[in-house]
Amino acid sequence: MGLELYLDLLSQPCRAVFIFAKKNGIPFQLRTVQLLKGQNCSKEFLQINSLQRVPVLKDGDFILTESSAILIYLSCKYQVADHWYPSDLQTRSQIQEYLGWHAYNIRSIFGVTLWVRVLAPLIGIQVPEEKVNRNRTYMDHALQQLESKFLGDKPFLVGQQVSLADLMLLEELIQPVAVGYDVFVGRPRLAAWRGRIEAFLDTELWQEAHGPIFNILEQMAKKTLPVPPPETQKNMLFRISKIP
């Protein structure tokens, strides 16, 4: 069995992996795991990842979780173009530096918007205004640090070309955009950076990867989103209670 990727394109790290594999012509079997249907809690998937999370890579017997580890694995195994994960020590270290910061300061913050606008209402919950506002403050603060410390005046996060760090970041930022909170408005430098990545990816791939997330508000309005099973709703409630 060749390479398999377990993904849900509503998830930002999954989209990063999906785009990366497609753009680099890496052949894989897509195994869709619909989180809203609770498919990550199924017995089959538990065998794959006991943490019940996507993305997951399966390469023969080898199973790997964590999007950044997956991207690095794919970069090395398929010898993709050097700019994704540059061999130059200092540049590569800067990617790692970004990923370390990202894990704590971007990853846990921007996804909250989807919970506020879609996932919580889907199970009849309203995230308190106070938490929503706090989340916006966190996002603003993170974006400020991002622009001043990481992006600066460079075309991409670590220099002249796109890297896996850019992809990880972009997908996190798409999450609020898709639910109507456009973080690029009023941030011309960041918007220009997004434009450069979009131009680099083909339109078709862009649409394929973002179709589900960009349609989510419409699906919600039309009430065509799946109703999560009880077990999933329980997990969702817990997750919502943890929004700071």
Partner 1 sequence: MGLELYLDLLSQPCRAVYIFAKKNGIPFQLRTVELLKGQHLSDAFVQVNPLKKVPALKDGDFILTESVAILLYLTHKYKVPEHWYPQDLQTRARVDEYLAWQHTTLRRNCLRALWHKVMLPNFLGEQVSPKTLEDTVAELDVTLQLLEDKFLQNKDFIVGPHISLADLVAITELMHPMGAGCQVFQSRPKLAAWRQRIEAAVGKDLFQEAHEVILKVKNTPPADPTIKQKLMPGVLAMIQ
Kindly list the residues in this chain that would bind ligand GSH in the complex (CB under 6 A): 11-13, 35, 40, 52-55, 66-67, 100, 104, 235
User: 97-105: long-range contacts at Cβ-Cβ below 8 A with a sequence spacing of 24 or more?
Assistant: 98/150, 98/157, 98/158, 98/165, 98/169, 99/68, 99/165, 99/168, 101/150, 102/165, 102/168, 102/169, 102/172, 103/68, 105/142, 105/145
Q: Count of H helices and E strands in the chain?
A: 13, 4
DSSP 229: P
Q: Do the Cβ atoms of 217 and 118 come closer than 8 Å?
A: yes
**What binding mask, one character per residue, do residues 108-147 give for partner 1 by CB under 8 A, x or -?**
x------------------------------------x--
Which partner from the list ligand GSH, partner 1, none does 62 bind, CB cut-off 5 to 8 Å by kind?
partner 1
Q: Does 199 bind partner 1 (CB under 8 A)?
A: no
Contact region for partner 1 (CB under 8 A) — 4-12, 67-75, 188-196, 221-229?
67-75
Q: Residue 230: is the preceding peptide bond cis (ω within 30°)?
A: no
Q: Does 40 bind partner 1 (CB under 8 A)?
A: no
Residue numbers 74-103 binding partner 1 by CB under 8 A: 76-77, 89-90, 92-94, 96-97, 99-101, 103
Minimal distance, residue 168 CB to ligand GSH, in Å: 8
Which partner from the list ligand GSH, partner 1, none does 52 bind, CB cut-off 5 to 8 Å by kind?
ligand GSH
